């Protein structure tokens, strides 16, 4: 947070002089894969119907790190975009610098407080004001399977760790790549989060990952988590390091690999490839995480620009948070609507399942922030990601990784 403040704080006074044109929103994001690009068109079209021009500012990079670097540079230069995709705890970092626009008027007009669960309001609000739009539900605890490849194995759908490993081994024995993975730090973190819930349950996940409890992080349960993460490396191919997430998804789509564990933005790639849920691919909760929804919410913030742009900004955020936008958006993006008043009629079988589970998890308290961006501030998250990536690369053994995750809690002090 302090590092962010040093790099950006000098720009706060410059924001009011932004020269964006009225009824135009320049939008910075990192949606550049085929499925994501198709979904973005839904956003553009709905805004254009309202007389608001979309000015695209995409920054490639699935984890968003490159986009955040570009955003910081533009804010420091006094030239922020009208709106930017910012996720999770990063929203709070920007809000603490008093750089974000207050969108509470839109929230009051459209009843956001009643239409979004508390877990979402935690990331949408800051000091009692709405400053961000967590508008869809991506959950990370999924398995995506090529159905033909799975059917050829003659095994049951995995529901626990042992049946999961048995399925992966059966695929390996058949000459398939069992687990398509992209060896990037944020993807390694998705894997860690899923294995943590599957191994220790949701309360252990809360203590170890969300609360950074040192006793939990140094426990035998966490050791088992790390051992299981390392066990999964045996089912990945040697080209995994550095691979983009959507390329791993493509391996499953083509039948080169059996499965991928990834957020349900992966479903957008299946949709873009013309594949149908239930016929061409399968969606299962990561074995051992049934009943839990580990979420990532696509979110935008708007900046303190001139009054002439305020109307366009407010219309932009109201569009994002409306069921009328979220329903068609979710079909293409692979997500489900975050607005609890939305309808699931447009969603496919996987989407209907995901939307029902989201509402159930919101009601039961089993809706938790995913380890990627929604579990902890950046310093803690980066430390944990580094540990699991070094474990998978062979730079650390399990003992070293266990010590590393315990040390990561120091970033919270």
Phi, psi of 253 (to 5 degrees): -55, -40
Give 412's pLDDT tier (boundaries 50, 70, 90): low
Considering the chain, what is the average pLDDT of its residues?
Answer: 91
Provide the H-helix boundaries in 206-298.
214-217, 220-233, 245-253, 266-272
Q: What pLDDT sits at residue 305? A: 66
Among 209, 82, 198, smallest CA distance to 141 is for 198
Q: Which residue has the higher pLDDT, 1 or 245?
A: 245
Q: What pLDDT sits at residue 34? A: 83
Q: What pLDDT sits at residue 361? A: 97
Provide the H-helix boundaries in 302-397.
307-320, 323-333, 349-364, 378-393
Positive/negative CA dihedral, 52, 57, 61, 63:
negative
What share of the chain in percent tops pLDDT 90?
75
**Whole-prediction pTM:** 0.88
What pLDDT, in 10s, does the model give residues 305-359?
655 578 888 999 999 999 999 999 999 888 999 999 999 999 999 999 999 999 9
Give 373's pLDDT tier (boundaries 50, 70, 90): confident
**CA 204 to CA 221: how far, in whole Å?**
9
Among 162, 155, 163, 142, smallest CA distance to 354 is for 142
The answer to whether the CB of 317 falls within 8 A of the CB of 302 is: yes
What pLDDT, in 10s, does the model give residues 18-63?
333 448 889 999 988 888 888 899 999 999 998 899 999 999 876 6
Kindly list the structural domains of the chain, giving each domain's residue range(s) and its CATH number in brackets, ordered by start: 2-138+296-365 (3.40.190.10), 139-294+369-412 (3.40.190.10)
Element housing 85 (H / E): strand 83-85
Extract the tokens encoding 242. 């550095």
Give 11's pLDDT tier (boundaries 50, 70, 90): very low
The answer to whether the CB of 306 falls within 8 A of the CB of 20 is: yes
The alpha carbon torsion through 56, 60, 64, 66 (nearest 10 deg) reads: -100
* β-strand pairing of 300-302 with 257-261: unpaired
Among 132, 1, 31, 20, smallest CA distance to 412 is for 1
- What average pLDDT does the segment 120-126 reach? 96
Q: What pLDDT sits at residue 382? A: 86
Give 372's pLDDT tier (boundaries 50, 70, 90): confident
Q: Which residue has the higher pLDDT, 11 or 291?
A: 291
**CA 207 to CA 142: how far, in whole Å?**
22
Q: Which of 91-105, 266-280, 299-313 has the lowest mean pLDDT?
A: 299-313
Q: What pLDDT sits at residue 413? A: 55
**CA 6 to CA 320: how far, in whole Å?**
31
């Amino acid at each position: 947070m302090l590092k962010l403040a040093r790099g950006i704080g000098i720009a706060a006074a410059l924001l009011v002089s932004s020269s964006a044109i009225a009824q135009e929103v320049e939008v910075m994001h990192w949606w550049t894969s085929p499925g994501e690009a198709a979904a973005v068109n839904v956003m553009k079209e709905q805004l254009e119907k309202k007389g608001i021009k979309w000015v695209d500012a995409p920054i490639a990079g699935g984890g968003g790190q490159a986009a955040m670097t570009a955003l910081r540079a533009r804010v420091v230069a006094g030239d922020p975009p009208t709106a930017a995709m910012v996720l999770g705890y990063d929203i709070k970092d920007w809000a603490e610098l008093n750089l974000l626009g207050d969108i509470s008027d839109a929230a009051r007009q459209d009843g956001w407080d009643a239409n979004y669960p508390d877990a979402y309001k935690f990331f949408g609000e800051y000091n009692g004001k709405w400053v961000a739009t967590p508008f869809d539900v991506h959950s990370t605890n999924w398995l995506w399977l090529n159905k033909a490849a799975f059917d050829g194995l003659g095994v049951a759908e995995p529901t626990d760790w042992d049946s999961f490993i048995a399925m992966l081994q059966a695929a390996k024995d058949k000459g398939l790549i069992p687990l398509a993975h992209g060896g990037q730090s944020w993807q390694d973190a998705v894997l860690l989060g899923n294995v943590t819930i599957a191994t220790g349950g949701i309360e252990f996940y809360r203590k170890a990952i969300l609360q950074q409890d040192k006793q939990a992080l140094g426990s035998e349960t966490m050791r088992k988590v790390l051992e299981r993460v390392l066990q999964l490396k045996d089912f990945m191919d040697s080209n995994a390091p550095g691979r983009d997430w959507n390329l791993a998804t493509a391996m499953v789509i083509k039948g080169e690999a059996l499965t991928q564990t990834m957020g349900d933005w992966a479903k957008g790639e299946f949709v873009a490839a013309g594949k149908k849920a239930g016929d061409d691919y399968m969606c299962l909760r990561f074995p051992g995480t049934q009943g839990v929804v580990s979420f990532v919410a696509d979110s935008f913030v708007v900046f303190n620009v001139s009054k002439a742009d305020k109307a366009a900004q407010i219309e932009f955020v109201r569009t994002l948070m409306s069921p009328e936008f979220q329903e068609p958006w979710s079909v293409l993006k692979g997500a489900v609507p975050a607005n609890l008043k939305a309808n699931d009629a447009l969603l496919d079988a996987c989407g209907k399942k995901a939307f029902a589970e989201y509402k159930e998890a919101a009601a039961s308290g089993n809706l938790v922030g995913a380890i990627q961006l929604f579990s902890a501030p950046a310093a803690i998250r980066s430390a944990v990601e580094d540990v699991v990536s070094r474990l998978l690369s062979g730079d650390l053994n399990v003992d070293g990784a266990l010590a590393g995750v315990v040390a990561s809690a120091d970033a919270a002090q």
